[in-house]
Amino acid sequence: MKERRISKPVTKKTTRARKRQTVGESIIEGLRQAVAWTKGENDDVRVTLVRVPQVDVRQVRRKMGLSQAQFAAKFGLPPATLRNWEQGRAHPDAPTRVLLAVIAKHPEAVEDVLRKAS
């Protein structure tokens, strides 16, 4: 039977009394690994690709009982862009599709964040 090597994420050398990484240190280490990976220097990392769903903006808006102008104003979207999405002349990019998916499932969460930000 052929032996299979299981790759592990690259980490700093561990010592017997391992110091717990802070969140900031963990983020910095992850960014270092990402930069090394993009330069082709490190292929021993885990890469996760996420498929961002398509969202029927018109359906979401109608389900909420809002006009295009109301929906656009409520979620900080340009009304013309919303019209273009609904009429199929343009399509939201991936980050916007994520926002629209959250609005579709949990509009109150987005409203809460936007309310606190203003």
Q: How far apart are CA 37 and CA 52, in angstroms?
A: 23
Mean pLDDT score of the chain: 86
* Tens digit of each residue's pLDDT (9 = 90 or more) over 75-112: 999 999 999 999 999 999 999 999 999 999 999 999 99
Give the pLDDT confidence score for residue 105 in this predicted structure: 95
How many Cα atoms occupy the beta-carbon half-sphere of 22 within 13 Å? 3
Which SS3 state, helix, strand or coil, does residue 92 take? coil
Q: Are 102 and 109 in contact (CB under 8 A)?
A: yes
Tell me the per-residue pLDDT of 16-67, one tens digit each, with 9 for 90 and over.
667 888 999 999 988 988 888 888 887 777 778 888 889 999 999 999 999 9
